[in-house]
Amino acid sequence: MGRPIKSTWIGNAAGRIEVTGAFSTETTQPDGSGAEAVSTVTGQYISAQRSSLRFKVVFTSTDGSTSQTQVLDLKAVAPASLAAGQFCVQIILNDSTVAYVSRFYNSTVHYVTAAGAAGSCTYSRGVEGTDEAQAGSGAGSIDVI
């Protein structure tokens, strides 16, 4: 697995890594109103790491009324491209390119851009709107709760 993410970087507190999109493993919404879909509500987070690709994620269901905790697979795709049982984390590279994390390590991530370019970089955690272009060369910034 490599070095795991620092435990102080995951969880439900200020400054922790935020999940960009999560798709439940369930086929229907908890309230039974329809098919489950991708949830992109702010404040979703990783609660535990199982491997460099599997994480326990706490997120809000599509119906907006239920908080769910499930073990999901990290995928380097935009939220609209997620399938059931997957989640994504967006990273902004130092040149303002939007990418998605494909693997987490303690101080680095592997990522894939929307254009399909893959790479790795160190990362920092920042608040949306203040984090773009703040990381150093060869670095990226991940949004936080």
Task: Convert the pLDDT of each residue in 87-133 to its tens digit.
Answer: 999 998 888 889 999 998 888 889 999 899 999 998 888 755 554 55
Q: What is the average per-residue pLDDT within 34-57? A: 85
pLDDT, greater one: 129 or 38:
38
Q: Could you tell me the residue ranges of all domains in the chain? A: 7-143
Whole-Å CA distances, 111 to 24, 63, 65, 68: 22, 30, 32, 26
Residue carrying the six token digits 């670095």 = 139
**pLDDT tens track for 56-73:** 998 876 666 778 888 999
* Under 8 Å between Cβ of 139 and 124: yes
